[in-house]
Amino acid sequence: MVFGVFDTLHEGHRHFLKEAKKFGDHLIAVVTPDDVVRELKGKAPKKDIFERVAEVEGVHDVDEVIIGDEETGSWNIIRRIRPEVIVTGHDQHKMKTILKDMLDDFNWFMEIETASAHEPEKYHSSIINGD
C-alpha cells in the first residue's frame, strides 16, 4: 500500500509506484481526498480526486486505487485493508515516523518500507507544480 496526492502524475510518481510494487504482489495506491490535500498543504490540488484517481489507475504497476480517509490521521483505510507492507516515498518522512509509532496499534504484522528517490531535484511535485 502507498499513499499520495498524485497531483500532476510525473516520472517521480511512476518510479515510486514501480519501486513499491517490488515489495509485494498486489499494489494498492491510496489517493488523498481534495479536502485533506487542502488541510495538509494549505491549497487545493490542481486536479480533482477523480482525475487523480484515473491517472493512477493508468499506471501499469498499480493493481488497485482507492480514495483515502476523509479524516486526517484516522488511518481507517489501513485498518480496513490490513496491508502487509506500506511503502513510503523518499520524502514522506513524517508519515513514516507516524506509521512506525503506530505499529503496535495495529493487531497484525506490517512492515514499513521506503522507496528510493528518482531524480528528486527534477521530479518532485513542488518543483513541477511551481510550489
For the segment 45-80, what is each residue's pLDDT rounded down to a tens digit?
999 999 999 999 999 999 999 999 999 989 999 999
C-alpha 6/C-alpha 80 separation (Å) is 22
| Residue range 83-109: mean pLDDT, rounded | 92
C-alpha 41/C-alpha 18 separation (Å) is 25
Model pTM score: 0.88
Fold of 2-126: Rossmann fold (3.40.50)
CA distances from 85 to 11, 22, 71 (A): 23, 11, 22
Domain coordinates in residue numbering, the chain: 2-126
* pLDDT score of 129 more than 90: no
CA distances from 102 to 79, 89, 91, 96, 127 (A): 11, 18, 19, 10, 31
pLDDT band at residue 121, thresholds of 50, 70 and 90?
low
